Amino acid sequence: PSYGTDPWSQQAKVAFQKEFGPHTEVFFVFNGTAANALSLRALLSPHHAALCADVSHLWNDECGAPEYLAGCKLIPLASENGKISLSTLKENWTRRGDQHSSQARVLSLTQPTELGTCYSLQELTDLISWAHAHNLLVHIDGSRLANACVFLNCEFDELTTKLGVDMVSFGGTKNGFLFGEAILFLKPGLSEDFQYIRKQCGQLPSKSRYIAAQFAAYLANQTWKEIARHSCEMAARLEQGLKQYPLCQISQPRQSNAVFVKIPKAWVKPLKEASFFYVWNEKTFECRWMTSWDTEAQDIDSFLQVIQELTSSAAISSDKGVSQ
């Protein structure tokens, strides 16, 4: 059977309902950009806007897909450690009812954030309560939501449905999948016409079972938690190892499977040769070092060994400079 009528798709949907609640409606798509952009298209009209963090993937790394596919406006809000604060949200709640201004309709929160930090349950409760009181729907970009659950020691529904979240872009690819993401509608009525939106945007897999089977296995027996816990533990191992090197300045709290570190410019090339990573800030040489489901302790130790060698070389160069 095709187009989601197969038993694997049904099994995965039941698994999602077990984790997120009985009213959860599930739609599979190919990638995270589609999950985010189509989520906004489902919730917004062209005169609407979505509020998001200024460091969010939605704002910086979707190549304009949300604006193109949803026809809406994105409004970036200043963030601290990757997170939007309630005070910032309130400060930017302006021009309501002004026909010359796009009207905010969605608050999109990334959990964990692009900087690897996590909103606490209380922070989410405060933001979501305020958003709903002001007629905002709440979308969670949850490409690594499992890692946030591990850090906060909670279940998926405790981090979303029970807090009042309306919609989730749920990650698969960043959690070990070959491909595939899931769009979750957590409130009845929100998914009306979404099957047509997904088809129109080229995101209806004819062989949905190949995405669904991965989610069914991932959610069964809380395999997701084992995978997320491992990646977080590897990040903790990396963080701990870095503390002995003064030239490596940990720049963000480690609360998931990401470690952000400022390093000397000269170290970027040799470290990239050891393991690929992104330089997050080209001015400060803040780098993002990610761990994953298949990172092994030996991988961490080998990377730290390269840092040890670079540290030793830097010390020798410094000594030569002093002696001269």
Q: With 80 as the cut, is the pLDDT of residue 30 above it? A: yes
Q: What is the pLDDT of residues 268-319, one digit of tens each?
A: 999 999 999 999 999 999 999 999 999 999 999 999 999 999 999 987 665 5
What are the start and end residues of each CATH 3.90.1150.10 domain in the chain? 224-323
The SS3 of residue 168 is: strand
Q: What is the pLDDT of residues 172-231, one digit of tens each?
A: 999 999 999 999 999 999 999 999 999 999 999 999 999 999 999 999 999 999 999 999
The domain made up of 224-323 has a fold known as Aspartate Aminotransferase, domain 1 (3.90.1150)
* CATH number for region 7-221: 3.40.640.10
Is there a contact between 72 and 45 (Cβ–Cβ < 8 Å)?
yes
pTM, two decimal places:
0.95
Cis peptide before 112 (omega within 30 of 0): yes
Can you tell me the distance from the alpha carbon of 229 to that of 249, in angstroms, rounded to the nearest whole number?
24
Token pair, residue 248, equals 């490596």
> How far from each other are the two terminal CA atoms of the chain, in whole angstroms?
76
Q: What is the pLDDT of residues 55-75, one digit of tens each?
A: 999 999 999 999 999 999 999
The phi-psi region of residue 97 (left if phi > 0; otherwise alpha if psi is between -120 and 50; otherwise beta) is left
What are the start and end residues of each CATH 3.40.640.10 domain in the chain? 7-221
Can you tell me the distance from the alpha carbon of 190 to that of 210, in angstroms, rounded to the nearest whole number?
26
Q: What Å distances lie between residue 316 and 165, 188, 300, 302, CA to CA?
A: 54, 65, 25, 21
Q: What is the pLDDT of residues 90-118, one digit of tens each?
A: 999 999 999 999 999 999 999 999 999 99
Q: With 70 as the cut, is the pLDDT of residue 141 above it? A: yes
